[in-house]
C-alpha cells in the first residue's frame, strides 16, 4: 500500500514538473512565440504587405501561444482584430484593409504585434495615385475600367478544311475564314452597339497560322483586316484585347512542349514581333494576350506532365520580353499572360510564374471558367423526361469555391485578373443564365480586380440588338458592384 502511495506521489510530481517546463511561476509561457506568418503556413514569416492604390484587403496569420495585441500607426488601415488569446499549434487570420490612396505619394504603415514581452513588426506599403510618365493606363486601372466585356467569337479565330484557303487569284481568302463558322463579317455597327448597350471592352480572338507562309510571315490582307476590326472597336470607345487563339490546342503549332521549345519559341517571337510592330503606334486601350488555351504536345486537359508548366512559364516570359524589346508604345502596353489551358485550379495556379517586367503594373493574368460543368456545359446527360438545369444554391456554392481560389491568388500577388471566357449553355432558360451571370460577375467584382468577358451572342451581328436582354441586363447590373 505504501509502495503504491509513493508511486502516486512520484507521478503527480512528474506531472507538475512537466507543467512547469511550459510555464513560469506566474503562469506565463516560458518559450513564448509572437509572429506574423503566411496564411495557413506558420513556417513562413511575413514582414511586409504591398497594396495597389485601390481600396482592398489582404490576409495574414498571427501565430502566438500567449495572449497578444496588434495595433497600427495609420488611420487608413483597418484591422479585423486587435487582440486575441494565445493558442498552441493554431493561427488566427487577420484581415488588413486599406483605403484608396488618392495622393501622388506611396505611403507606409506599421503593424505592431506584442505579447509576453515580445514584439513583431509588419510593414504595409501602398502605391500612390501614380500616373505612368507617358500617361498610360496601368493594368490595375484597366481592369477596374473594363469590368465586363464581350468576346467577338467565331469570327477572326475561325478556320476549317472545307473551303479553299486561297481565292481565285491565289490570295488569302480572308472572308471565307471569317464566315466559315456561321457569322457574318463583323462591322463597326456591332462594336458601336456593344458600347451603346453599356459594355466597356471586347476580346477579339484571332487565329494566325492559316494566314502565315512557310517563313511564318502573316499575309498583308489578314493583318490589314485584323487592324480594321481593332479600329472598329477602338473607335467605339472600347478597351480591346487581341490574342493568338487557335494556333494553340489540337491542330495548332503553339504548344507547351519543352522538348521542342526552341523551334516553338522562334516561331512565337516571329509572330508576335509582326503583330506588335503593326500596332506599335496604338494607345493604351489596346492590349495583347499571349495565347489562348495552350496545351501540351498531347493536347491534355488533365494529368499534365510537369514539363508543360515549365514551358508555359518560359513562353509567358518570352512574350513579355519580346513586346517590351520592341520599344515605343509596346514598352508600356498592358500585356496579358494565360495559365496552362487557361485553367484556374489551385494546382495550375501554383505552377504559374508571373513574368518579370521592366515596368510596374502593366501585366494581367487570364483564365477561363465554364463551371459548374453540369450547369454551364450541361455535361450531365439528361433523361427524356428530365427538365433542363436551373441555377441553385448548390451550383452557386460550387462556383464560389472555385472563384475563391482565384481571389486568393489575386490577394497574394496583387495582379489584375481577367476571366477571358465564361458562359452558360444557350439551351438553358434565359432567366437561369441571368442568375448565374449576375452571381459570377458580382462575386468577382466585389472581391477582387477581376474583369470578365462573356462568350456568347449577346448583341446580334446583323440587327445589332440584344439577343438575350435579361441576361445582358444581369451582366451590366452586376459589373458596377
DSSP type of residue 387: P
CA–CA separation, 114 and 96 (whole Å):
17
Q: How many CB atoms lie within 10 A of CB 465?
A: 10
Q: List strands edge to edge, sheet with 83-84.
A: 48-51, 118-126, 107-115, 68-72, 83-84
Nearest to 474 by CA among 151, 370, 452, 202: 452
Q: Of these residues, 157, 289, 421, 432, which one is catalytic?
A: 421
User: Do the beta carbons of residue 150 and residue 202 sit within 8 Å?
Assistant: yes
CA pair distance 150, 148, nearest whole angstrom: 7
Give the count of beta carbons closer than 10 Å to the beta carbon of residue 97.
14
Q: Are 207 and 247 in contact (CB under 8 A)?
A: yes
Question: For residues 253 and 368, what is the distance between their CA atoms, to the nearest angstrom?
Answer: 21
C-alpha closest to that of 364 among 422, 476, 289, 292: 289
Check if 293 is active-site: yes
How far apart CA 477 and CA 196 sit, in angstroms, is 15
Q: Considering 157, 293, 432, 438, which one is annotated as catalytic?
A: 293
Q: What CA–CA distance (Å, rounded) separates 165 from 467?
A: 32
421 assigned to active site: yes
- Let me know how long the chain is: 481
Q: Which residues are catalytic?
A: 293, 421
Amino acid at each position: 500500500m505504501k509502495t503504491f502511495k509513493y508511486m502516486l506521489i512520484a507521478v503527480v510530481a512528474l506531472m507538475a514538473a512537466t507543467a512547469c517546463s511550459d510555464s513560469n511561476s506566474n503562469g506565463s509561457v516560458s518559450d513564448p512565440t509572437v509572429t506574423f506568418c503566411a496564411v495557413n503556413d506558420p513556417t513562413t514569416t511575413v514582414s511586409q504587405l504591398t497594396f495597389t492604390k485601390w481600396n482592398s484587403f489582404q490576409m495574414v496569420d498571427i501565430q502566438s501561444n500567449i495572449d497578444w495585441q496588434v495595433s497600427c500607426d495609420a488611420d487608413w488601415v483597418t484591422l479585423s482584430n486587435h487582440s486575441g488569446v494565445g493558442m498552441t499549434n493554431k493561427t488566427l487570420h487577420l484581415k488588413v484593409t486599406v483605403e484608396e490612396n488618392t495622393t501622388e505619394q506611396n505611403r507606409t504603415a506599421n503593424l505592431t504585434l506584442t505579447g509576453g514581452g515580445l514584439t513583431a513588426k509588419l510593414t504595409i506599403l501602398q502605391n500612390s495615385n501614380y500616373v505612368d510618365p507617358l500617361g498610360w493606363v496601368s493594368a490595375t486601372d484597366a481592369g477596374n475600367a473594363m469590368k465586363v466585356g464581350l468576346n467577338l467569337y467565331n469570327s477572326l479565330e475561325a478556320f476549317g478544311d472545307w473551303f479553299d484557303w486561297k481565292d481565285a487569284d491565289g490570295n488569302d481568302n480572308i472572308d471565307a475564314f471569317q464566315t466559315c463558322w456561321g457569322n457574318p463579317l463583323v462591322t463597326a455597327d456591332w462594336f458601336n452597339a456593344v458600347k451603346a448597350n453599356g459594355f466597356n471592352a471586347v476580346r477579339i480572338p484571332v487565329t494566325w497560322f492559316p494566314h502565315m507562309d512557310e517563313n511564318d510571315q502573316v499575309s498583308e490582307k489578314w493583318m490589314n483586316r485584323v487592324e480594321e476590326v481593332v479600329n472598329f472597336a477602338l473607335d467605339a470607345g472600347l478597351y480591346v484585347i487581341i490574342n493568338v487563339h487557335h494556333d494553340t490546342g489540337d491542330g495548332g503549332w503553339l504548344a507547351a512542349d519543352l522538348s521542342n521549345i526552341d523551334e516553338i519559341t522562334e516561331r512565337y517571337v516571329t509572330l508576335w514581333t509582326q503583330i506588335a510592330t503593326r500596332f506599335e503606334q496604338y494607345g493604351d486601350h489596346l492590349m495583347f494576350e499571349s495565347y489562348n488555351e495552350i496545351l501540351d504536345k498531347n493536347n491534355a486537359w488533365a494529368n499534365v506532365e510537369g514539363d508543360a508548366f515549365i514551358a508555359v512559364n518560359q513562353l509567358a516570359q518570352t512574350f513579355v520580353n519580346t513586346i517590351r524589346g520592341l520599344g515605343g508604345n509596346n514598352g508600356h502596353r498592358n500585356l496579358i499572360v494565360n495559365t496552362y489551358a487557361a485553367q484556374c485550379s489551385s494546382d495550375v495556379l501554383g505552377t504559374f510564374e508571373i513574368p518579370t517586367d521592366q515596368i510596374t503594373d502593366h501585366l494581367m493574368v487570364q483564365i477561363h471558367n465554364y463551371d459548374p460543368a453540369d450547369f454551364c456545359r450541361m455535361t450531365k446527360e439528361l433523361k427524356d423526361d428530365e427538365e433542363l438545369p436551373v441555377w441553385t444554391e448548390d451550383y452557386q456554392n460550387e462556383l464560389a469555391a472555385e472563384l475563391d481560389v482565384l481571389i486568393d491568388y489575386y490577394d497574394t500577388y496583387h495582379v489584375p485578373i481577367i476571366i477571358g471566357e465564361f458562359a452558360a449553355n444557350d439551351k438553358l432558360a434565359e432567366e437561369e443564365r441571368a442568375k448565374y451571370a449576375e452571381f459570377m460577375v458580382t462575386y468577382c467584382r466585389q472581391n477582387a480586380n477581376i474583369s470578365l468577358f462573356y462568350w456568347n451572342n449577346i448583341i446580334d451581328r446583323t440587327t445589332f440588338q440584344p439577343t438575350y436582354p435579361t441576361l445582358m441586363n444581369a451582366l451590366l447590373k452586376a459589373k458596377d458592384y
